[in-house]
């Protein structure tokens, strides 16, 4: 994720966590030879980048 999108993504995650609704939040991580790479984070099965863009249009 681009650094410029990291803060809005973090804020979207925090907002989703505080709403008191059931949120299915998880990460897609690849592991090979003891090294891991975070591919994406999902909130309610929506990639966090898409989730952030959607939140911008609804706020």
| Span 7-56, pLDDT tens digits | 888 888 787 777 666 678 889 999 999 999 999 989 889 998 888 888 77
More confident residue, 3 or 37: 37
Give the Å distances, CA to CA, from 37 to 16, 27, 40: 24, 10, 9
pLDDT of residue 11: 83
pLDDT of residue 39: 93
Instruction: Residue 4: count other Cβ atoms within 10 Å of its Cβ.
Output: 7
**Of 18, 23, 19, 21, nearest in space to 41 by CA:** 23
**Which residue(s) pair with 29 in the sheet?**
38
pLDDT of residue 1: 67
Q: Are 49 and 9 in contact (CB under 8 A)?
A: yes
């Amino acid at each position: 994720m681009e650094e410029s999108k990291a803060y809005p993504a973090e804020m979207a995650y925090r907002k989703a966590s505080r709403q008191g609704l059931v949120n299915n939040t998880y990460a897609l991580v690849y592991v090979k030879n003891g090294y891991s790479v975070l591919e994406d984070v999902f909130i309610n099965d929506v990639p966090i980048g898409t989730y952030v863009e959607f939140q911008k249009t609804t706020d």
